[in-house]
Amino acid sequence: MANDTQKQLEILTSGTAEVLPEDGLKAKLSHSLKTGKPLIVKLGVDPTAPDLHLGHAVPLRKLRQFQDLGHQAVLIIGDFTAMIGDPSGRTVTRLQLTKEQVAANARTYTEQAFKILDAQKTQIRYNSEWFAKIDFRQVIELTARFTVAGLLVREDFMKRYQNEQPIGLHEFLYPVMQAYDSVVLKADVEIGGTDQKFNLLAGRELQEKLGLEPQVALTLPLLEGTDGVRKMSKSYDNHIGLTFPPAEMFGKVMSIPDEATGQPRYSLIVKYYQLALGYLPEQIKALEKELNDGSLDPMDAKLKLAEKIVATYWGADAGKKELEAFLQKFRYKKVEYFEPKEVYLPTTELKAGKIWVVKLLRLANLAPSNAEARRLIEQKAVRLIMDKQEVLLADSSADIEVKEGDLIRAGKRKFAAIHLH
pLDDT digits (tens, 9 = 90+) for 117-174: 999 999 999 999 999 899 999 999 999 998 888 888 877 778 877 888 888 887 888 8
DSSP state of 224: B
Domains (range + CATH), the chain: 5-220 (3.40.50.620), 234-329 (1.10.240.10), 343-420 (3.10.290.10)
Closest CA to 13 of 31, 26, 28, 30: 26
Q: Is the pLDDT of residue 102 over 90?
A: no
The per-residue pLDDT of the chain, averaged, comes to 89
For the residues 256-275, what does the mean pLDDT come to?
92
For residue 374, the Cα-to-chain-centroid distance in whole angstroms is: 41
Q: Is the pLDDT of residue 270 over 60?
A: yes
Q: How far apart are the first and last CA of the chain?
A: 59
- Tell which wins on pLDDT, 100 or 221: 221
Give SS3 for 291. helix
pLDDT digits (tens, 9 = 90+) for 192-231: 999 899 999 999 999 999 999 999 999 999 999 999 999 9
Give SS3 for 89. coil
CB atoms near residue 346 (< 10 Å): 18
Give SS3 for 159. helix
- If phi > 0 it is left, if psi is from -120 to 50 it is alpha, else beta; for residue 36 that is left
Element holding 389 (H helix, E strand): strand 389-392
pLDDT digits (tens, 9 = 90+) for 284-318: 999 999 998 888 888 889 999 999 999 999 999 99
Closest CA to 180 of 137, 220, 148, 134: 134
SS3 letters across 409-421: EECCCEEEEEEEC
Q: Any idea which of 336-340, 380-384, 393-397 has the lowest mean pLDDT?
A: 336-340
Look at residue 88 in the predicted model and tell me its pLDDT: 54
Q: How far apart are CA 63 and CA 58, in angstroms?
A: 9
**Helices 298-314 and 267-276 sit at what angle, rounded to 10 degrees?**
20
